[in-house]
Structure 1
Amino acid sequence: MSLLELSEVDSYYGQSHILRDVTMDVEEGEICALLGRNGAGKTTTLRSISGARPPEVRDGSVTFKGEDITDLSPEDISSRGISLVPEERRVFPNLTVAENLHLAEVTNNASNTVGRTIPEVEHAGMTTDQVYEEFPRLDERRTQQAGTLSGGEQQMLAIARALKQSTDLLLLDEPYEGLAPQIIADVEDAIERISESGTTILLVEQNAVAAMDIADRCYVVDQGSIVFEGSAAELRQDDETRERYLGV
């Protein structure tokens, strides 16, 4: 049994049929990349996993740790150990780095309300000290307003906020967007360290070359359907798929 399984998922925005029979799995401990061009269905896949509305999953199922989570709320899915870092990063620009992290901790604690059953997760959320150890640049800027950080630093802060939650599966939506090559390398290093610490990662990315550098396995989606599944090495060797669906 895989940590995450999507079985013949069909997702819609109103009457628009976006995902078509999407079947994929993510194994515990791996970095899995979902690649494709703009509009291919990558973000819709993450939203379907995390329970965000829209889209609406009308057919198929999403299973996490053997439990069907298809119709659960985003809050219930998060409580089970899935954290999403959205494409827009969504840090609070007028709050400092430390305040952003504290707010993430307060939000996580609030989800554990009295009388609510929270399934056990394998990885407790990071402490603030652990976050600063993992992201030294955030430690240097802990009193700086998030809105004044560089794009790469904001991305690290967004990831760090997600890791303050109890996270077994980290969903990353376009973490390299708008970043310079050197900053991408820094974010890649952080993602690899997080993976080595035991957190499974599903990485959605349009920058296929960078994603293949760190991914164990890759899926390619086009017009809402999976058109490739295999290792990163196999995708590198598949010139036809890369050129046709990824343009690289």
Structure 2
Amino acid sequence: MDAYYGQSHILRDLSMHVEEGEVCALLGRNGAGKSTTLRSIAGARPPDVRDGTVSFKGTAITDYSTEDISSLGISLVPEERRVFPNLSVEENLHLSDVARNWSNVVGRAVSMDNEGMSTEEVYEVFPRLEERHSQKAGTLSGGEQQMLAIARALKQDTDLLMLDEPYEGLAPQIIDTVEDAIERIAETGTTILLVEQNAVAAMNIADRAYVIDQGEVVFVGGSEDLRADEETRERYLGV
């Protein structure tokens, strides 16, 4: 796949796959093309995918709209989290139900196999959100907002959950909490593609990892293989 922002060539013949049910980490330094990869899969514009194909469960989705890609069961939790600050935690979660139901009404839903988690199930994964259910999202801590952003995605018909820098700006203790939640989500069978600057934390939960540099894959293998590859870690990840 080749992707561009205007005339800037960001992804260069990038080829990768994520197996159903696995946690796959996409790692690299700032500007390597990690977020561009997620945006390209989600159908966000920009970037502009000019060559190559994005496929999901055997179906080419390169030219699908963002809404139709979401209806297939692909959810992206962006780096900015984007919760509704003036709405409560429960109201934020309810909006995910509204969005899912509207997609079904207008005929966008392509796969109905997964109806998404209920609010009660989300609270089982993120008990802190239940404690804060009536609190405005804008008053939550950074970690709690990250939990809420992930929870909203889980309320959609999510088969592939893509997380862009979920640990950014979080204290180590909160990272552990979010990490535990991601592992619990993976145990439900949800496939996870994780972009993370904190390579050590990502390798703790990932089955496999890709490392990219300047839009090209420079490593692919199991997390244990990457831990053992000191040259790749030092050269491309700085760890």
Place the TM-score, normalised by the shorter chain, in its bin: over 0.9
Partner residue in 2 for 1:118: 109
SS at match of 1:57: strand
| Deviation readout 1:39-66 (Å, 9 max, x if unpaired) | 1000000000000000000000000000
**Distance in 2 between the 1:105 and 1:155 partners?**
19
Partner residue in 1 for 2:100: 108
Partner residue in 2 for 1:145: 136
Partner residue in 1 for 2:3: 11
Partner residue in 1 for 2:61: 69
Equivalent pair of 1:167/1:199 in contact (CA under 8 Å): yes
**Distance in 2 between the 1:75 and 1:95 partners?**
23
SS at match of 1:226: strand
How many residue pairs get aligned? The number is: 239
Partner residue in 1 for 2:230: 239
Question: What's the CA shift for 1:155?
Answer: 0.4
Q: Identify unmatched segments of 5+ residues in structure 2.
A: none
**Distance in 1 between the 2:117 and 2:108 partners?**
21
Partner residue in 2 for 1:5: none
Distance 1:216 1:122, change over 3 A: farther
Q: 1:58 aligns with which of 50, 56, 74?
A: 50
Question: What's the CA shift for 1:133?
Answer: 1.6
Equivalent pair of 1:121/1:167 in contact (CA under 8 Å): no
| Deviation readout 1:157-209 (Å, 9 max, x if unpaired) | 00000001000000000000000111000000000000001100000001000
Q: Identify unmatched segments of 5+ residues in structure 1.
A: 1-8
State yes or no: 1:205 paired with 2:196.
Answer: yes
Equivalent pair of 1:97/1:145 in contact (CA under 8 Å): yes
**Distance in 1 between the 2:51 and 2:111 partners?**
28
TM (normalized to structure 1)?
Answer: 0.95
Partner residue in 2 for 1:129: 120
Residue identity matched to 1:75: E
Equivalent pair of 1:91/1:158 in contact (CA under 8 Å): yes
TM (normalized to structure 2)?
Answer: 0.98
Equivalent pair of 1:96/1:144 in contact (CA under 8 Å): yes
| Deviation readout 1:113-157 (Å, 9 max, x if unpaired) | 24x252224422111111112210000000001111111110000
Partner residue in 2 for 1:37: 29
Partner residue in 2 for 1:196: 187
**Distance in 2 between the 1:119 and 1:72 partners?**
12
Partner residue in 2 for 1:49: 41
SS at match of 1:54: coil
RMSD, matched Cα? 0.8
Structure that is richer in strand per residue: 1
Equivalent pair of 2:44/2:66 in contact (CA under 8 Å): yes
**Distance in 1 between the 2:108 and 2:119 partners?**
25
Equivalent pair of 2:71/2:108 in contact (CA under 8 Å): no
**Distance in 2 between the 1:186 and 1:118 partners?**
32
SS at match of 2:227: helix
Return structure 1 stretches of 4+ with deviation > 4 angstroms.
none
| Deviation readout 1:206-232 (Å, 9 max, x if unpaired) | 100000000000000100111000000
